[in-house]
Every structure is written in C-alpha cells, then in structure tokens.
Structure 1
C-alpha cells in the first residue's frame, strides 16, 4: 500500500501583493492597467485552474487595499483597532476601522457602513480594477468630497462590517472572499476553514455586532459628547444600521443625536419598522438612493412609495435614483456627489431640517405598443386544459396497468411535448 505524504501535495500558488510585480501600474486616470498592454485592465482569468486565478485576485486586492488605506491616511484618517484598547498581534483577534484624527472635537460625525461582502475601504472592485479607477471605486473619493466643504468638516468613522473573519494564519480579519482566496496548506486542500463566530473579534463577531459596537463603544469613547451623527450605509450595511436603530431603548438613546441617514441600495421595508420615533425620523431626515437607469438624484418616490414603478420604494422616506442601473455596490460610486450635497444641506439647516414635500410624477417608461400589463388569461386557460389532459392520460395508463414511471415537464413553449 502506498502512502502519500503531505509534502507531496502541489503547493498553493503564490503571487506578490505588489502592483508592479503583478505586472500592473496606475495610469494618469487613476486606473489599474497592464504594464505589458497599457490599454488592458486587470486580467482575472490567468489560468485554467480556478485556484491560480483566485490567488492572483487575492494578491491584487491586497495590494489595492494597501493603496486605498494609504490614501485615506493622507486625508487625515488613521487606523483604530477593535476591541478598543487591544494591542494588535497575530495571536490576538482584532480588527481595524479608520477614524479621522479630529474625531474628538468634530461637531458632526459621519458613520460609514459598507457592504458585508467588501474589504475595508472598498466600494466596488469592478470599478477599482476597471473603468473609473481606485479613488472612485473606494471610499477615498467620498471621504475627500465630504471633507472638501467650506463648512466645518465632519469627523469620520469608516466601519468594517465586511472584514470580520479572523484568520490565525494571516493574523488579521478578512472578508469571506479574501479568506477563501488566502493561502492554503496546498493547492489540493478543499479550502480554508471559516471560523465560528466565537473565534472572531470580541464584540464584533458578526456584522450586526460590529454595527452595535461602533455605536455603543467607538462613538462614546472617541467622538465628541453630543456630536450629531450622520449615517451613510451601502447595501446591507444600510439595512444593519437601520435594524440597530429601530429598537426600543436604542432609538431613545440615539434619536436626539441623529442628523440624517442615507441608505444607498438598502432594502429594508418600512413595514418592518417597530419604533414610531424611528419611522418619523425616516420620513423627515432620511433618504434612499436606489438602483435606477435614471440620472442620479432624480426623485422616484415620496415616503409613501410609488405604485407606478416596479422599483422597490417602500422605505418610509423619499427615494431617489443613485444613477446606477444594476449593481448595488456601484450606487455610491455613481451617486457620490448627490449624497454629499444632501449631507451638506442637512448640516447647514441644522436640527430644523425636514425633507421637503414633493409631488412625484415618475412612472416606469412604457414602450410604444406595450400594454400596461400583459393579459395572461389565455395562457392560464391553455395550461389548465393541458394539465387536465395529462391527468386524464395518466389515469388511463393506470387503468391499463401501465405503471411505467413517466416524467413530464410543462414549458412555456407553444408546441406540445411528444410522448
């Protein structure tokens, strides 16, 4: 009998986390391009073996994240390690967020919650590694715009709800995608073990816990007492922030300090809201920016929803187009300036700000010749008739003693299936 040793397994591929060594550079448009072919973006499909492609993506994403975090530092943000007071080490579970250096004196604080699938600092890798560039596809451009106002700049807390999985081999937390793509003992292994919640960073074991920790530990310890809080959430990051605030006792504590809330691509239905005070806040001082082919900032619905569009509008607040038609992760990329302008408007108005009443005339466009709603009745009648015919045929087979197992599939085709 032969015994295969662990040392005989193929090694996991390795790529350096350096743009130049990977064969890429950042051009004058802030886009990542190939050194060999400057008109080409990042090439993911490097090899027929998916593991080689994933490992290259891990190295590229780590190199880009380092560049993004360096740019955030240049804007005045600094890493803050959680749980607060922890001494970062490879053997002690910890994670980092980024906070502005003037956080303790800023009269307003912007709490930024990204999606739970993204690395810290990242909005959309499809933009970072493609058309648009690094700043546009990350939180860098948003933070820069937010800090460029002539009025007093807000403090910033950039949370990390996507990078919570503790990796002992890496000595840091990773997103789920990064953990899957991180080094394994060999290329033949099934994958890296996903840690149980108990193995993650204390107080930040899940995205929901992380949001609560930012509110209940980071803000009281690092922000100025009484600082007004503006929340900007992307995708499920916005939903998590809303779910936290919509709790009895929680809203009573934070409601008086809330300035506004911008949900970019969130999907939390106002029907699920339990706290009356939070429901009133949504109507008066919150806005939703949703995927839509319309220009960024176009009003799609008032707080009560718009029945004339297929777009989800049951947010309990005014709804606007983000300027991005399909991808939630690109909503803040396309609608960045619109969201920043509204945050400034709320800050300038102060505690007296209320969303203006609007008359919404928007409805989904209907192409010439299209009916408002297809008439499905003929199809339903035909389907029911065919179903009845099949049932009669099966009953007839049973009477004849033909117990052969027959599988039939009804389709949307106009033609009948042949026996």
Structure 2
C-alpha cells in the first residue's frame, strides 16, 4: 500500500473564468474561437489528466453562462429565486421571467432537461453555431418580439406575451459561493489536491421544494404559474415547451392534477371513461378510438400537444412514435444529438403554439405511422453472429 504525503500530491488546477485568459475570443459570427487558431472552436482535452480538462471546461462554460445571462437580462428577463421569497444568502435556485409576467395574458414556459443550465440549450450548439443560437437568447428575442408585434384583441386590449425559463439543471446549492449549480460544475469545484474526490453533497446542498427536476417543475406550477397567485394573471393562457425530462415532468404533473376526468390515466391505450369501462367489463365492448375519450387528459394530449424527435427527415416531417408519446410526433430536423433537437425546432414550436393560442378549437388529427424496419440488415447481422458462434464452437 502506498501512502502519499499531502505535499507530494499535485495541486488542484485553477483556471480563470475569463475568455481571453483562457485563450478564446468571440468572432463576428458570435462564435467562440481560439485566439491562437481562429478557425478552431473549444478544445476540451488539454491535458492527459482528466481533472485538468474538467476544471478548464467548467471555467470556459462559466464564461458562456455570464455572457448568456447578461444578454437575457438586456432583453428584459429578470431573476426569481426559488423558493419564492428566498434571500440571496439563503438556499435557492434561480429561474428567469420577463418583466410583464403579472399582466401577460399568455405565458410561454420553458421546462428544460437536467442537462441544461439556465438560459443554455447546449454548449455544443454554442460552439458550432454561435452564442445566441445555442443559448436561449434568440428564442427569448423571438418570444418577446411577438409581444411587441402582437395585434390587439377585438376588445382593443393588448394580448401581451410573457416568458418563463425554468432551471432543472442547477439544483445543487453551494454554500461557499451562495449559488446553485449543475453536477458538472459541482465536480469541478476546488478540492485539496488534484487527487482528491469531489466535494461531498449533504442536506445543506438541497434547495427546499426543488430537490430534483420533478419537484422543481411541480414547484413552478404550484407557486409561480398558479392562477390567482402573486405572479401571473388569473386568466393567463400557458404554453409549455418541455425538453426531455422537463416535458415528462409537465405531462406527469398535469396528468396527476387534471380535473377533466375521474381516473387520471394518461396511457392512451388504456384510457376509457367509467361508463365505457363498465360496459366493457359486462361484455358490451365497443370500439373506442385511441385518445378520443371526451374530456380526458389523454384527449388533450392527443389533440393539443406535439413531440419533436430525433430524425434525419426534414423539420416538421411526420415520423413514427404517436402510440408511445400519446401525441403526434414530428422530426426536429436533428438526427444525431438529442440535446440539439430543440435548437433546430423551437421556431416551428412557436409557430404551432401561436396557432393553438389563436384558435382554441383547433385539434390535431392523429396519425399513426409504421416504422420501416430494415429486415435485410437485420438478417445479415444475425447471419454474421451465427458464423462467429460456429467459429467459436469449432475451436
């Protein structure tokens, strides 16, 4: 057994949260590039020791977050600390909202995934396509511009639009800095030496009411978006864009708290109202169209919701997945990286949400597409596996 003295262990690496000192700059296309090589973007591996790479990447991402948040603030977005009423020195997680949230008659809410930090879609898209594109800056501009360009309602009142951005990715509170952060940022915090493990998380790092992404979404619904609350207009209409787990949490919460039907089942294949189920139990079954039980949450999911998935098809192209997701599924225009799907499809989402908002009677027509299975490729793979098994058995 080898025991190293503290002075023999390598010091934990330190990198400044400054783009220029890290060797980067922002070019005229809003992309972050290396000063030494302007054609190259961020370089992750700078050392054979992974600790150096993690801390360096965290400092780089910290620079991006500061840039993005400053741009969102310049657009009029404000920070709200959760739990509501938390002071700067108390445990909290920040979310963003536009200044008109209390008066707006329409609110667009973004519920991100646990892998997304506040105001960020993906760091990959920021590196490849630009800061505004890969973050929520362009998205916020589009939403808030809709508010400025919006026409008046028939009664002459302005139908204002507000924006709320949740923060499912930064739910770990660091007492030393007084900020909440993501898991990757937590793992990059300074430790005694480069050989020491990350700081241990305890109850002191848990934000009340926001211990995980499900509870974070629940807290926003019940304490920020609640009708008659201190933040939103009681008559406001709410549009939700849920990204990965954020979308799942929204569906789970709304399904659980739906007052539309007695038994909150949101599996379309199992959804019947009480009379239909009793009739089926008595042997008088009748064909019930999938997701068409009137007044049910599944009906709402099928007719007023959409899912955008990874696909090599063009944006908005109908693709298989309706039975699995409970609503029509469309191509996001992104075929490889799941976290980039929202980057390529949020404009289409806003257009579709506009259509739903201004036409409350509109309902999606359900389509179910069969997935094409490449049987020939499967047969060749199976044949190759059988040949390898025969070779192994003959040895």
The alignment's TM-score, normalised by the length of structure 1, stands at: 0.77
Gaps of 5+ in 2: 151-158, 261-265, 274-292
User: Is 1:278 the counterpart of 2:278 in the alignment?
Assistant: no
- Counterpart CA distance in 2 for 1:272 and 1:119 is 36
1:166–1:199 contact (8 Å) kept in structure 2? yes
1:257 corresponds in structure 2 to: none
Change (3 A) 1:23 1:379: closer
What displacement does 1:68 show? 0.8
1:165–1:195 contact (8 Å) kept in structure 2? no
Matches within 5 A, 1:1-150: 6=6, 9-89=9-89, 92-129=90-127, 131-149=128-146, 150=149
Q: 2:183 aligns with which of 173, 176, 182?
A: 176
- Counterpart CA distance in 2 for 1:377 and 1:39 is 44
2:174–2:205 contact (8 Å) kept in structure 1? no
- Counterpart CA distance in 1 for 2:271 and 2:193 is 48
Which secondary structure does the structure 1 equivalent of 2:180 belong to?
Answer: strand
Matches within 5 A, 1:8-407: 9-89=9-89, 92-129=90-127, 131-149=128-146, 150-151=149-150, 152-196=159-203, 199-219=205-225, 220-247=229-256, 250-252=257-259, 277-301=296-320, 303=322, 305=323, 314-349=324-359, 351-355=360-364, 357=365, 364=372, 371=376, 374=379
2:332–2:345 contact (8 Å) kept in structure 1? yes
Which secondary structure does the structure 1 equivalent of 2:15 belong to?
Answer: coil
- Counterpart CA distance in 1 for 2:298 and 2:81 is 33
Gaps of 5+ in 1: 254-267, 306-313, 384-410
1:415 corresponds in structure 2 to: 391
What displacement does 1:3 show? 9.1
What displacement does 1:171 show? 1.9
Change (3 A) 1:3 1:115: closer
RMSD: 3.0
**Count of residue correspondences:** 356
What displacement does 1:237 show? 1.2
Change (3 A) 1:21 1:352: same
Change (3 A) 1:214 1:377: closer
- Counterpart CA distance in 2 for 1:358 and 1:274 is 17
Query: Larger Rg: 1 or 2?
Result: 1
Instruction: Note the alpha carbon deviations across 1:78-105, whole angstroms, 9 max, x for none.
Output: 111111111112xx21111001100000
1:309 corresponds in structure 2 to: none
- Counterpart CA distance in 2 for 1:23 and 1:335 is 32
Which secondary structure does the structure 2 equivalent of 1:354 belong to?
Answer: coil
What displacement does 1:183 show? 1.8
Instruction: Note the alpha carbon deviations across 1:270-298, whole angstroms, 9 max, x for none.
Output: 55989972211111100000000001111
Instruction: Note the alpha carbon deviations across 1:72-130, whole angstroms, 9 max, x for none.
Output: 112211111111111112xx21111001100000101111111112211111111112x
- Counterpart CA distance in 2 for 1:235 and 1:63 is 26
Which secondary structure does the structure 2 equivalent of 1:104 belong to?
Answer: coil
1:270–1:315 contact (8 Å) kept in structure 2? no
1:299–1:362 contact (8 Å) kept in structure 2? no
Which secondary structure does the structure 2 equivalent of 1:251 belong to?
Answer: coil
2:173–2:205 contact (8 Å) kept in structure 1? yes
- Counterpart CA distance in 1 for 2:319 and 2:5 is 63
- Counterpart CA distance in 2 for 1:47 and 1:377 is 42
What displacement does 1:374 show? 3.3
Change (3 A) 1:122 1:23: same
